[in-house]
Amino acid sequence: MKKCLLGWITVFALPVIGIAGYKTITHSFEPKTVDKTVSVTIYKENNYKAKVYDCTYAEIHIALEKVNGKNRTPVWDTTFDTKLLRQYPSIEKALSRKITVENLVDKKDHLEINYLIKYNSNGSILQMQNGSAIADSSGKLSIGI
């Protein structure tokens, strides 16, 4: 009777121990997720007081994407209103935004930020595009107008 009871305990206990061990092992191989913060500042680089800038405007479009291999996922997108160049703040009073992206898979995902500045001077339009990868957890981007 004791051998039979020992046999049944073994039959039921081993799978339970195996499942618990399997869950522990697979859980330890799950990728770690991190939060990353990107800081964006926008400011004017000149005073733009000359008469030639009286009718010169700038509009800024910024897009932040999460990149994993060939997959791109937009996580933040905004357009700052069109303003006269002289209306943008100086570097001391720069416009600042902090964007936090949660649950990035560490060592697989990274952030890329792209921005487009569209200048309009009396109907003549000039577009300047720039982009950069943000690899660390406290990425900073400064945009000078």
Q: What pLDDT is stored for residue 37 in this prediction? A: 87
- Average pLDDT of the segment spanning 3-21: 62
Structural domain boundaries of the chain?
1-30, 33-144
Q: What is the phi/psi pair of residue 85, to 5°?
A: -55, -40
Backbone torsion region of residue 53, taken as left when φ is above 0, otherwise alpha when ψ lies between -120 and 50, otherwise beta: alpha
Tell me: the pLDDT tens digits for 67-113? 988 999 999 999 999 999 999 999 999 999 999 888 888 788 888 88
The residue that leads in pLDDT, 55 or 28, is 55
Rg (CA), the chain: 27
CATH class of 33-144: mainly beta
What the block records as the tokens of 108 is 């697989």
Q: What is the phi/psi pair of residue 90, to 5°?
A: -75, 175
* Rounded-to-integer distance, Cα 41 and Cα 53, Å: 22
